[in-house]
Amino acid sequence: MTLLDLFSVEYVERNADKSNYRVSGVGKEGNIVFCPDWAATLDKSYLRYSAITIGKEDAIGESLIERTIEKPAVIVARTGASFCVLKDEWKLIAETDLIVLQCKQDVSNDHFFFLIAWLKSNLCIWDLLYNKRSNSMYYFKQSFKPSIPCFERENFEKLCMLSRSIILDEDTFVARFNESLTEKEYDLEIDNFNNIIIPNKLKKIERLFLNHYSIGVEEKKIIDQELELNGYYVY
């Protein structure tokens, strides 16, 4: 199965005139989605599943909006970062070129949860680096036919449940930080969140993909080592 079987693909080129600006209020509730020019993972942590949003009060002018998009989507930056946008209508600000993936007609939105989990997985990142010679799905611009795992219903539902749970955890954490956490409390909680709570779920997701492709312990060690050598976070 390829991505084109399930998703429509739109390429968005960042306007080069929008190079000098800062985004404030990141994490606030709003319908403005910010896509940074980040890699697929952070240096010492996974990169969040849910889209980075800013509030209306932090909007930096309509001229920075690349476009308004209707329907939920998964966005993938040229630099490798990917995010799930679960909004019916939203505005996009981007630091880099990106692709917007939306479910085709008659394809359930559960496939967003599946896709973002696959894009974030160590196995997918490794496959892009070492088999596709790329750091992002973005580079299939000329022939966008990368394959994705085709799970049986039971494992598909398990994976979607874990992916959905991660997004809910992220939304809950950001809401708490914006409303009540002090900086010291935030530092303590973000460490627990990024190094214990979320990685426990990420490891379960990774195991589903590894089992699907019959990848054993020794093969996983090689994959992890190669990713770490290239600066990617491994869980």
Distance CA 116, CA 30 (A): 21
User: Taking the model in full, what pTM does it have?
Assistant: 0.88
pLDDT digit string (tens) for 112-127?
999 999 999 999 999 8
Strand ranges across the sheet with 52-54: 52-54, 32-35, 89-94, 67-70
Task: Give me the pLDDT at residue 217, please.
Answer: 95
pLDDT digit string (tens) for 192-209?
788 788 999 999 999 999
Task: Give me the pLDDT at residue 20, please.
Answer: 46
